[in-house]
Structure 1
Amino acid sequence: MLLSKSILSGTLLAAFFCAAPASVPLPPAEPVQQPAARPALVVFITVDQLREDYLDRWRSQYTGGFKRLLDGGAFFTNGHQDHAITETAPGHASTMSGRFPRSTGITRNVAGVGDTSVTLLGATGLAASPFRFRGTTLTDWLTSVDPRTRALSVSYKDRGAILPIGKSKQEVYWYAGRPGIFTTSTYYRDSLPAWLQAFNARRLPQSYAGKRWDLLLAARNYSEKDSVPQESRNGSPFVFPYGVPDDSAAAAAVLPGYPFMDEVTAALALAGVSALNLGRGPATDVLAVSFSASDLIGHRFGPDSREAHDQNLRLDHILGSFIDSLYKLRDSSRIIFALTADHGVTPFPELNDGRVTPAPVRVDLRPAIQAAESVLARAKGKISAMDFESGALFVEPQEAGVPAEVIRATVDTFIAVAKRIPGVRRVDRPADMAKADLQKDAIARRWTQMFPSDLPVEATVTLTQGSYWRAATVAMHGQPYDADTHVPILFYGPPFKPGRYAEFARTVDMVPTLAQVLGVAPSEKLDGHPLTVGIK
């Protein structure tokens, strides 16, 4: 029988007391160490389009949340969204599920959360739900242990709010620019809760009407040029300052493209924590917050811009105030944080400046698509059965209405023509990539971890490093290169060992790490594993 250290100490002390003369002073009893209280609140922060190098690039200028997390957290500097289509939906679906897109079923933004079978509450437009999501998330594992666990997930983007929680019908809210409120869909509830109605009534988005986004610091603190025409491919302004429209409705509609959207998102999260009594126990609750302004600003101006620099400085301040506010609301010793990103971003090809060789280009894949369509059409097949999106060629065999050999000929033609197009590095069939050495071939590994076996993916196209698709008018991500996959992975709180860890880590490793700290078991097989080196 094993005895605890405290029991052993008590037994030895009692024996000593009985044997010792009264005049002999007793040694002080060894203090009994109480087990650390289980975390009452898990705060999972996702920053949309936060490249890992942003944290070190401007570290000397961080004074708020980034500084706190970097100084006192377990920072995995070689973290990756280790799948090929580095977009918002698959990235958010992987972080709190511990599984790659091939397991979650969320492979692209266009096949993400949009759902015509449900409706928005208090707003119009396409509604959303997790109906495509497969499997479970951390929230499900916690509620299976204690049904009193509650979760709140908020974001400007519907997919950023929905996918971290999976199919669980918890408190999930996102932004509708018109009419400028936070909403949800009838998948979750029939009406907005009173606390959210009260928050919307504050009209925070509209309050930014007429406000200017100017540099947070003096201009001398920014090494980036302010006037870069490439940042204005769509004809929009590209020089500070940037004004929010004076009209309140217009201001609410365009606010997501300003740093101020993150302020409103943080305010919503704090209001929800208070209203829902998250983090008060007895169960462990979940707060998922996805900050989206970095993505809209990064797309518009690119990762080398002064605007991206300033946005990250402002987000640092927002995160600092957010964490301070949480600590005022709840016991800081019972809160743990995780921070990551859904993807990175690749610089504009025209601003490569020799960083990547061969020089990146803009790629027009239409000749390959048209050649494949011609093969299908000659066999009387339906061209609508073929789709090329996010670097993957899909062919629905039943809809195509042609024999298998015609589909093979269609795909063969697509591959042959695509390989000859400038800017295309490789074109692969999924079956061929599965045979590759996935430890050495990162591109094949990331594509192999992308699609469930029941999706009709016939080929994938990988561009040369740094290249964009022809039609892109903004800075892009979505390729299986480190510029798009490399993201920060950071844990903060009493259970974690502060430091920088250079080992290869994936975002699918984050929730297994949290599960180990929380003492809960995943309800299914995961692709990730705990990052034990960062746990005390």
Structure 2
Amino acid sequence: MPIRILAGLAALVTAAAAHSAPPPQPKLIVAIAVDQFSSALFEQYRGRFTGGLKTLSSGVVNASGYQNHAATETCPGHSTILTGRNPAHTGIVANQWYDPDLGRQMYCVEDPAGPVPGRDTAPRGPANLKVPTLGEWMKAANPASRVFAVSGKDRAAIAMAGHNADGTFWWDEERGFNTYVPQGTTAAQRLAPVAGLNAALVKRWEIKAPVWTPSGQCRAGGTDTFGTMTITHTLPPAGNAGGWDEPANLKYFRASPGLDQVTLDAAQGLIDRFKLGRGAAPDLLAISLSASDYVGHRYGGGGPEMCDQLMHLDRMLGVFLAKLAASKVPVVVVLTADHGALDAVERVAKQGIPAQRLTADAFTEVGREVQAEFKLDYFPFAGDAQQITIAGFGERDAKLDARIAASAIERLRKRPEVAAVFSSAEVVAAEPKPGTPPDELTLVERMHESFYPARSGDIQVAYRPYLSGGAPAAPGDYVAGHGSPWNYDRRVPILFWWPGATGFEQPLAVATTDIAPTLAALVGVTPPAVDGRCLDLDGTSADSCAKR
């Protein structure tokens, strides 16, 4: 090859390197979770995004991200994102679990030490989260770091913020953005960062209630029957045309793009008020956008409602990211999801998949069979249909409990709707080999990654793929859901972006537990023990995981 051609190629390589922008050492990390944003939805609509989701797709794209665990619900999923740990270590095994000491279900962010203004019977806080978050690592390295979280859901905000955050806020239909009040502080102090937005929303909505205005990018029409309920697909959906300031219609606001808009408004308000990214140490802002989850539950993920929700989300994120870029603050953004979902099974079945409603109640039916077999004067099960705890009263008979569990497992394994049943001992023993890719985990290994002995049931049950519980009968009933150990509920996108990012696609499986150690490397923080690994975000021969 002539020397001049070699010289030309070298110049091109040099120019490309000069125009590439490796990840900066950020002064601000923005971690975004889009609730129920499966990889399937990301791939379906990716070509139609023109705003923030397109911008994020120009960065480092991991389309095959996974939640490692089996319990694909909001609280466990969020608990993995900024801790680097699976629920087996975070202790957040489900949205709620049976507490034998209390004799009832425990909500994942129930915390007696965290009173919530106006919600005397619903204290909230991070006490149930057993590991520190990225924000806590950053504060330990430099106490000047500030950590905030905002979401449509309390459990999402708290699981991402962790302990001792500077502010943790979530949407409360009757009060605007709310929070918990740690000992030694006052409600006024804790709510001050969102008080202005709350007051502005009240004033704005007194003049005109918010409405779901169609994006014009999705085609409405047609009907579907889910359970015994028939839905006519209009945009905006029936009940969402307005009047959200009226108590009877408050439930509709959550299942609309409006919820994400006020959440992003709150996030922007925190950036502006506290000048995040402009202090002496790097800051962290966690944002969980909840509307897609409510839309998915209420209308399914395969209709025009979800299409329009995602088009609005794309536009809103575009505005938000543009402001971040214009601020010139060195920032890195990550976007992922807490879990995926299965569309309404009636619609899935039309596409050739053997999906159906789960009408049988294995929890109750097998429980009664076992109760009769052992002539018990009490119902022997507590918990739920996927995590069954052997219940009892007074002094426990361990041998009897073991016999009850063995009989229940045998009976459950014979049921046609059940794919697999494992005892707690089998789950504990199924620790994956280090380095096992998340898409190669066996079913029992996924359950292992969800299992926390003090909170998980004695029996773990996996139902067949493409089954959906519930029997929707009236508007507002859930028509679709998640929570299974199958990949349609586990697979989520993981996108990293910063202004000027040199994008690349990484097709192999990675995990949400990889996010926190990846971000920690960028800010020069050494994480404690984690289940994930640092992902190299530099598209060149350099390594963003190298110590800075």
Superposition TM-score tier, normalisation by shorter sequence: 0.7 to 0.9
Could you tell me which amino acid in structure 1 is paired with residue 296 of structure 2? G
Give the Cα–Cα distance (whole angstroms) in 2 for the partners of residues 319 and 502 of structure 1. 24
Specify whether residues 495 and 513 from structure 1 end up closer, same or farther in structure 2 by C-alpha distance, changes over 3 A only. farther
Match for residue 159 of structure 1 among 143, 148, 155: 155
Per the TM alignment, residue 498 of structure 1 is displaced from its structure 2 partner at its CA by 1.3
Give the Cα–Cα distance (whole angstroms) in 2 for the partners of residues 430 and 533 of structure 1. 38
Contact 1:206 1:249 (C-alpha < 8 Å) held by counterparts: no
Match for residue 361 of structure 2 among 364, 368, 371: 364
Partner deviation per Cα, 1:286-329 (whole Å, 9 max, x = no partner): 0101000000000011111111111111100010011112233x
Alignment partner, residue 187 of structure 1: 182
Contact 1:154 1:173 (C-alpha < 8 Å) held by counterparts: yes
Specify whether residues 456 and 90 from structure 1 end up closer, same or farther in structure 2 by C-alpha distance, changes over 3 A only. closer
- Give the alignment's Cα RMSD to 1 decimal: 2.8
Partner deviation per Cα, 1:50-90 (whole Å, 9 max, x = no partner): 011222212222111000010x2101111011101100000
Alignment partner, residue 92 of structure 1: 78
Unaligned runs of 5+ in 2: 1-17, 97-106, 541-548
Alignment partner, residue 240 of structure 1: 235
- 1:52-67 correspondence to structure 2 within 5 Å: 52-67=39-54
Per the TM alignment, residue 269 of structure 1 is displaced from its structure 2 partner at its CA by 0.6
Specify whether residues 254 and 207 from structure 1 end up closer, same or farther in structure 2 by C-alpha distance, changes over 3 A only. farther
Could you tell me which amino acid in structure 2 is paired with residue 462 of structure 1? A
Deviates more, 1:386-395 or 1:459-468: 386-395
Give the Cα–Cα distance (whole angstroms) in 2 for the partners of residues 255 and 503 of structure 1. 37
Is the aligned partner of 1:504 residue 2:509? Answer: yes
Alignment partner, residue 325 of structure 2: 327
Report the secondary structure of 2:509's partner residue: strand
Report the TM-score, using the length of structure 2 for normalisation.
Answer: 0.82
Is the aligned partner of 1:147 residue 2:143? Answer: yes
Partner deviation per Cα, 1:413-440 (whole Å, 9 max, x = no partner): 2112222223111111132245559455
Specify whether residues 509 and 247 from structure 1 end up closer, same or farther in structure 2 by C-alpha distance, changes over 3 A only. closer
Alignment partner, residue 531 of structure 1: 535
Match for residue 288 of structure 1 among 266, 286, 289: 286
Alignment partner, residue 432 of structure 1: 426
Partner deviation per Cα, 1:95-131 (whole Å, 9 max, x = no partner): 0000000100111112310234532125565231111
- 1:304-315 correspondence to structure 2 within 5 Å: 304-315=302-313
Per the TM alignment, residue 377 of structure 1 is displaced from its structure 2 partner at its CA by 5.8
Report the secondary structure of 2:286's partner residue: strand
Per the TM alignment, residue 395 of structure 1 is displaced from its structure 2 partner at its CA by 3.0
Give the Cα–Cα distance (whole angstroms) in 2 for the partners of residues 98 and 246 of structure 1. 42
Report the secondary structure of 1:241's partner residue: coil
Report the secondary structure of 1:86's partner residue: coil
Could you tell me which amino acid in structure 2 is paired with residue 452 of structure 1? Y
Could you tell me which amino acid in structure 2 is paired with residue 86 of structure 1? T
Contact 2:299 2:306 (C-alpha < 8 Å) held by counterparts: yes
- 1:111-126 correspondence to structure 2 within 5 Å: 111-122=107-118, 126=122
Contact 1:87 1:343 (C-alpha < 8 Å) held by counterparts: yes
Specify whether residues 388 and 248 from structure 1 end up closer, same or farther in structure 2 by C-alpha distance, changes over 3 A only. closer
Give the Cα–Cα distance (whole angstroms) in 2 for the partners of residues 389 and 112 of structure 1. 15
Contact 1:121 1:190 (C-alpha < 8 Å) held by counterparts: no
Specify whether residues 407 and 335 from structure 1 end up closer, same or farther in structure 2 by C-alpha distance, changes over 3 A only. same
Contact 2:151 2:290 (C-alpha < 8 Å) held by counterparts: yes
Alignment partner, residue 273 of structure 1: 271
Give the Cα–Cα distance (whole angstroms) in 1 for the partners of residues 228 and 188 of structure 2. 39
Contact 1:347 1:466 (C-alpha < 8 Å) held by counterparts: no
Match for residue 66 of structure 2 among 48, 70, 80: 80
Report the secondary structure of 2:70's partner residue: coil
Per the TM alignment, residue 236 of structure 1 is displaced from its structure 2 partner at its CA by 7.1
Identical counterparts, % of pairs: 27
Contact 1:368 1:413 (C-alpha < 8 Å) held by counterparts: no
Specify whether residues 419 and 178 from structure 1 end up closer, same or farther in structure 2 by C-alpha distance, changes over 3 A only. same
Alignment partner, residue 391 of structure 1: 386
Per the TM alignment, residue 137 of structure 1 is displaced from its structure 2 partner at its CA by 0.8
Give the Cα–Cα distance (whole angstroms) in 2 for the partners of residues 64 and 167 of structure 1. 33
If you compute each CA radius of gyration, which structure gives the higher value, 1 or 2? 1
Partner deviation per Cα, 1:144-179 (whole Å, 9 max, x = no partner): 111000011001100111111212242111111113
Give the Cα–Cα distance (whole angstroms) in 2 for the partners of residues 315 and 120 of structure 1. 29
Give the Cα–Cα distance (whole angstroms) in 2 for the partners of residues 293 and 358 of structure 1. 28
- 1:222-237 correspondence to structure 2 within 5 Å: 222=219, 226-230=222-226
Contact 2:261 2:316 (C-alpha < 8 Å) held by counterparts: yes
Deviates more, 1:449-458 or 1:130-139: 449-458
Specify whether residues 283 and 428 from structure 1 end up closer, same or farther in structure 2 by C-alpha distance, changes over 3 A only. same
Contact 1:364 1:469 (C-alpha < 8 Å) held by counterparts: no
Partner deviation per Cα, 1:338-369 (whole Å, 9 max, x = no partner): 10000111122222336576544414212112
Alignment partner, residue 95 of structure 2: 109
Contact 2:79 2:87 (C-alpha < 8 Å) held by counterparts: yes
Specify whether residues 518 and 441 from structure 1 end up closer, same or farther in structure 2 by C-alpha distance, changes over 3 A only. closer
Report the secondary structure of 1:271's partner residue: helix
Report the secondary structure of 1:515's partner residue: helix
- 1:13-92 correspondence to structure 2 within 5 Å: 38-70=25-57, 72-92=58-78
Per the TM alignment, residue 454 of structure 1 is displaced from its structure 2 partner at its CA by 2.9
Contact 2:223 2:231 (C-alpha < 8 Å) held by counterparts: no
Specify whether residues 128 and 244 from structure 1 end up closer, same or farther in structure 2 by C-alpha distance, changes over 3 A only. farther
Give the Cα–Cα distance (whole angstroms) in 2 for the partners of residues 413 and 495 of structure 1. 60
Report the TM-score, using the length of structure 1 for normalisation.
Answer: 0.84
Contact 1:79 1:504 (C-alpha < 8 Å) held by counterparts: yes
Could you tell me which amino acid in structure 1 is paired with residue 234 of structure 2? V
Count of paired positions: 491
Specify whether residues 437 and 190 from structure 1 end up closer, same or farther in structure 2 by C-alpha distance, changes over 3 A only. closer
Report the secondary structure of 1:50's partner residue: coil
Give the Cα–Cα distance (whole angstroms) in 2 for the partners of residues 307 and 35 of structure 1. 38
Per the TM alignment, residue 228 of structure 1 is displaced from its structure 2 partner at its CA by 1.8
